[in-house]
Amino acid sequence: MARWMPAMRKGALLATSGMVLAACSQTPVTSPSGQPVADPGLVHVHGLGIDPADGILYAASHYGLFRIPATGRPERVTESRQDTMGFTVVGSRHFLGSGHPDPAQNGPDHLGLIESTDAGQNWRSLSLSGAADFHALEAKHNQVYGYDSQTRRLLVSTDRQNWNSRASVALADFAVSPIDPNTLLATTERGLALSTDGGRTFKPVSSAPDLLLVDWPTVTVALGITPDGSVHTSQDAGVTWSQQGKVPGEPRAVIANGSGEVHVATETAIHSSRDGGRTFSVRAQLS
């Protein structure tokens, strides 16, 4: 999922906000002299996802979509430098995204909701082209949930064409319960918040740590990360949390697969864990 960082209550979150928002401006593909600009590679990761077709980890970045093999360097999926801000995996080779087009392409600045059914080789517009810029996306319970950075509203769709507007709230990330389509956790400027009405209203979770990113991979485990990279897990729908391990650097995106597999992107690397976030190793260095 891609992540937009608003001005939140901690100084570290405010700093993160400035860096991520600044990263939304595209670098041109040609220099003023007309010469091509060197490929910047994998930088500014906005979202992570795992394709169930083959278990491959994908990183959606400011300059395109990359495969992240278990060993070796990140592999660019295509030559497109599409700035994919929101990103989520729906199923085998089936991705949803949002963000901004490759600077060399014509079209609206905001992509709305886009779809790929061939693991990121090609994308097509589904809805809200030119209108919405989703910085966080989830597909669960036959619905798509998206946080639009333009309106700062949570939107929900059952057909990926028509959208229902839910809460207006400044949030950095959200996660949907695996068993209840109406239960969501969101990291907001006032801390972690819980919704039990499908994102129409949120109430603070006062006992939670100051989380920046959140995911909800299994019925029993929700996972969150603080701005300093500390990983926390909850087994009661986000009410209480226990600290696990820590990744170095400022977290930018997280994806968890089951109760053990966790991947975290920071500004310098992608870190992976096989023990629920207690220990991490570097999966890939960023450019």
Confidence of residue 26 (pLDDT cuts 50, 70, 90): low
Cα separation of 33 and 199, whole Å?
49
> How remote is the C-alpha of 162 from its chain's centroid?
22
Whether residue 245 is predicted with pLDDT greater than 80 in this model: the reply is yes
- Tell me the one-letter amino acid at 243: Q
Q: Answer whether residue 35 is part of any domain.
A: no
Confidence of residue 259 (pLDDT cuts 50, 70, 90): confident
Q: Answer whether residue 5 is part of any domain.
A: no
Q: Answer whether residue 33 is part of any domain.
A: no
Whether residue 8 is predicted with pLDDT greater than 60 in this model: the reply is no
Q: Answer whether residue 3 is part of any domain.
A: no
Q: Answer whether residue 29 is part of any domain.
A: no
43-57 confidence digits (pLDDT tens): 999 999 999 999 999
Q: Answer whether residue 4 is part of any domain.
A: no
169-222 confidence digits (pLDDT tens): 999 999 999 999 999 999 999 999 999 999 999 999 999 999 999 999 999 999
Whether residue 11 is predicted with pLDDT greater than 80 in this model: the reply is no
CB 136 within 8 A of CB 174: yes
Percent of the chain whose pLDDT exceeds 90? 84
Overall number of domains in the chain: 1
Q: Answer whether residue 6 is part of any domain.
A: no
The domain spanning residue 60 has which CATH number?
2.130.10.10
Cα separation of 59 and 47, whole Å?
6
What does the pLDDT read at residue 6? 42
The parent domain of residue 190 ranges over 11-22+40-285
- Transcribe the chain into DSSP letters: --------SSHHHHHHHHHHHHTTSPPPSB-TTSPBPPP--S-SEEEEEE-TTT--EEEEETTEEEEE-SSS--EESSS---EEEEEEEEETTEEEEEEE--TTS-S-S---EEEESSTTS--EEEE-TTT--EEEEEEETTEEEEEETTTTEEEEESSSSS-EEEEE--EEEEEE-SS-TT-EEEEETTEEEEESSTTS--EE-TTS---SEEE--SSS-EEEE-TT-EEEEESSTTSS-EEEEE-SS-EEEEEEETTTEEEEEESSEEEEESSTTSS-EEEEE--
Q: Answer whether residue 2 is part of any domain.
A: no
User: Residue written as tokens 């709230």?
Assistant: 169
74-109 confidence digits (pLDDT tens): 999 999 999 999 999 999 999 999 999 999 988 899
Whether residue 145 is predicted with pLDDT greater than 90 in this model: the reply is yes
Put simply, whether the predicted model's pTM sits higher than 0.75 gets the answer yes
